[in-house]
Structure 1
Amino acid sequence: MKYRTLGRSGVRISALGLGCMGMSIAYGPTDEEEALRTLDRAAELGVNLLDTADAYGRGANEELLGRWLRGRDRDEAVVTTKFGLRHDSATGRVGGVDTSPDYVPVACDASLRRLGVDHIDLYYVHRRDPGVPIEETVGAMAELVAAGKVRCLGLSEVSPATLRAAHAVHPISAVQLEYSLFTRDVVEGEMLATCRELGITVVAYSPLGRGMLAGEVTSRDDLTEDDNRLRWPRFAEENIERNVALVAALRSIAARLGCTPAQAALAWLLGQGEDIVPIPGTKRRRYLEENVAAVALELTEEDRAALRAAVPEEAVAGERYPAAALVRLGH
């Protein structure tokens, strides 16, 4: 494993992290024993950046990670979690965003209990309520740092202006954004320039386009009835065939490079800079091992250009989120 530095914090993180959400929700049937074995294998491979959130299964994913952490050396993992999304009691789905200063310590204490730890290494605002000044939210988060409950602060899916305003209150170590060959405009441009100016790491979630760039999903028939991707635009009947065709082009280049499509897509991201850290999610050891192998893959500038050209962003069909979730982005 190779390692990078989280922002300007001095915290050492693996160049590739592990997204834990799918171990509890979203992508079909779950298997807790396999999830725990996957976390074991991640530690063996040197993956120390573990990503969860209080919204993943209404705390269930934090509890799962907490069971794995129990009895382990706390320094073995860089634990990251998020707050801000609230669930509707009637539907069980995310129903709103709460980033009010009063809610910040309440959410943090609940996450600490579920994780079974005395501190969170990186604490993110999951989504921002535009009605609450970001300065107030980050001010409350800074109090958690002062109290020793949190080491570093992060934001997710915010605008460059919000990032600057937050950083002026307390150093922001990471901004979590969707970034992949399928989704580039969110990061590239003003956001990446802002992060580099301020010394902030970009943590790239869904770096494999929610599995499609790995070549494992070729039609809606590959997804089980309880898989959330069936509700997402890029997996809709009218879009999935066009997107799968792009993956075929990626597969061709990967074959030339002697790797899998997933490894090519991750190596492309890793090659974008030392301040880009992908966190592909998986709940199975075999996919984890495949993903980690991408860290050793060295791409030339020509290879990266070929991969970018093979997946033109303007050719990707469908929005990256359903309409209800899109309104929570970019504030």
Structure 2
Amino acid sequence: MKTRTLGRTGATISEIGFGAWQIGGAWGDVSEEDGKRALNAALDAGVTLIDTADVYGDGRSEKIIASVLKERSGDKPFVATKAGRRLNPHVADGYTGANIEAFIDRSLSNLDVETLDLVQLHCPPTDVYYRPEMFGALDDLVTKGKIRAYGVSVERVEEALKAVEYPGVATIQIIYNIFRQRPQDLFFEEAIKKNVGVIVRVPLASGLLSGKITSETKFADDDHRKFNRHGEFFDVGETFAGVPFDLALEAVEQVRPLVQEGVTMAQFALAWILQSKAVSAVIPGARNETQARGNAAASDIAALPPETMQALADVYQRLIKAHVHQKW
């Protein structure tokens, strides 16, 4: 497993992390035992970054992580969580130092630690990025010792560009994949310039880029790929990367011939993301041990050749760009 530095945190982390949304909920039925086995398999494969959130299963994901780590010996992985989406309603005025500190206290309890490695504001409303007092409150929580570092999980490139203006922002989490290429246009340059770590989520476009989803695939009622298909509950860009489903399936078939022999499409999609030097880590999720080990193995794939990168850029330009580029 190759490693990279997570921006201003200075932490050395595995370039393939473990996205813990699936073991929390909203991806259909994933038992607690399956979640633990998936996480253990990832850690055994060299993963040293875990990304979770307080709302994943209303704390279930954080508690599963705590349980697994308590049973393991050796160095502890770097655990990033998120805060803010517990607000109801989820509005900018709810982002106060007191509210975020209360959420952080809950995550400290769920994860059974004295200090959180990294807390990310969880896709806050755009107005929050224009409220320096919120970022000042996070600085205070670092001083108090409740968090070691903080960052922001963003929906839009413009939000990322605003967030990195704050000197305390150590990381940005953003959607970036073969179907969502805009971050590489400007944001990645700024992240490198300001030494901000970049954590990439939704790397497989909610499973589309695994190549296993078809027009006949059925999703469970509690799977966001069914209940949030049109953005009914949260930003539609989080589900299938915001690409219209049938069009995305067409694009997948144009990507498929580009995948080299002996590599899964999921590994290929992760390797594409890791081509960028701005990326600190990518955090695919996993429902089971097999998926976790397969994701980790993507770190071993050789750099994709220029002609493959160009062909993927062409697929994006022809089929995808008009539907997503200016939205996020």
**TM-score bucket of the superposed structures, by smaller chain:** 0.7 to 0.9
Whole-angstrom distance in 2 between the partners of 1:313 and 1:14: 33
Whole-angstrom distance in 2 between the partners of 1:109 and 1:314: 45
**C-alpha deviation, 1:53, in angstroms:** 0.5
Whole-angstrom distance in 2 between the partners of 1:249 and 1:148: 49
Q: Deviations over 1:118-139 (max 9, x none)?
A: 1111110112244444421121
Equivalent in 185, 191, 196 of residue 195 of structure 1: 191
TM-score (norm. length: structure 2): 0.86
Report if aligned partners of 2:192, 2:278 keep a CA contact under 8 Å in 1.
Answer: no
Is 1:153 the counterpart of 2:158? The answer is: no
Is 1:177 the counterpart of 2:191? The answer is: no
| 1:278 counterpart residue number | 282
Q: Aligned partner of 1:202: which letter?
A: V
Report if aligned partners of 2:189, 2:278 keep a CA contact under 8 Å in 1.
Answer: no
Whole-angstrom distance in 1 between the partners of 2:126 and 2:44: 41
Change (3 A) 1:152 1:32: same
| 1:309 counterpart residue number | 314
Change (3 A) 1:208 1:288: same
| 2:103 counterpart residue number | 107
| 1:323 counterpart residue number | none
Is 1:261 the counterpart of 2:265? The answer is: yes
Could you list the runs of 5+ residues in structure 1 that have no partner in the other structure? 89-93, 321-325
**C-alpha deviation, 1:201, in angstroms:** 1.6
Report if aligned partners of 1:20, 1:283 keep a CA contact under 8 Å in 2.
Answer: no
Report if aligned partners of 1:178, 1:204 keep a CA contact under 8 Å in 2.
Answer: yes
**What RMSD, in angstroms, separates the aligned Cα atoms of the two structures?**
2.5
Report if aligned partners of 1:52, 1:80 keep a CA contact under 8 Å in 2.
Answer: yes
Report if aligned partners of 1:17, 1:49 keep a CA contact under 8 Å in 2.
Answer: yes
Whole-angstrom distance in 2 between the partners of 1:30 and 1:318: 31
Q: Aligned partner of 2:196: which letter?
A: I
Equivalent in 295, 300, 310 of residue 305 of structure 2: 300
| 2:22 counterpart residue number | 22
Whole-angstrom distance in 1 between the partners of 2:323 and 2:151: 28
TM-score (norm. length: structure 1): 0.86
Q: What percent identity do the matched residue pairs reach?
A: 30
Report if aligned partners of 1:207, 1:279 keep a CA contact under 8 Å in 2.
Answer: yes
Whole-angstrom distance in 2 between the partners of 1:30 and 1:214: 18
Whole-angstrom distance in 2 between the partners of 1:319 and 1:190: 16
Is 1:120 the counterpart of 2:116? The answer is: yes
Q: Aligned partner of 2:222: which letter?
A: D
Whole-angstrom distance in 1 between the partners of 2:91 and 2:216: 29
Map residues 195-234 of structure 1 onto 2, 5 A cutoff: 195-219=191-215, 221-230=217-226, 231-233=228-230
Q: How many residue pairs end up in the alignment? A: 311
**C-alpha deviation, 1:64, in angstroms:** 1.7
Q: Deviations over 1:88-115 (max 9, x none)?
A: 4xxxxx7545321221221111110011
Q: Aligned partner of 2:289: which letter?
A: R
Q: Aligned partner of 2:307: which letter?
A: E
Whole-angstrom distance in 1 between the partners of 2:131 and 2:261: 44
**C-alpha deviation, 1:165, in angstroms:** 3.3
Whole-angstrom distance in 1 between the partners of 2:145 and 2:62: 19
Whole-angstrom distance in 1 between the partners of 2:322 and 2:31: 32
SS in 2 for 1:102: helix
| 1:59 counterpart residue number | 59
Q: Aligned partner of 1:193: which letter?
A: E
| 2:45 counterpart residue number | 45
Report if aligned partners of 1:123, 1:150 keep a CA contact under 8 Å in 2.
Answer: yes
Could you list the runs of 5+ residues in structure 2 that have no partner in the other structure? 231-238
SS in 1 for 2:149: strand
Whole-angstrom distance in 2 between the partners of 1:193 and 1:74: 36
Whole-angstrom distance in 2 between the partners of 1:271 and 1:211: 20
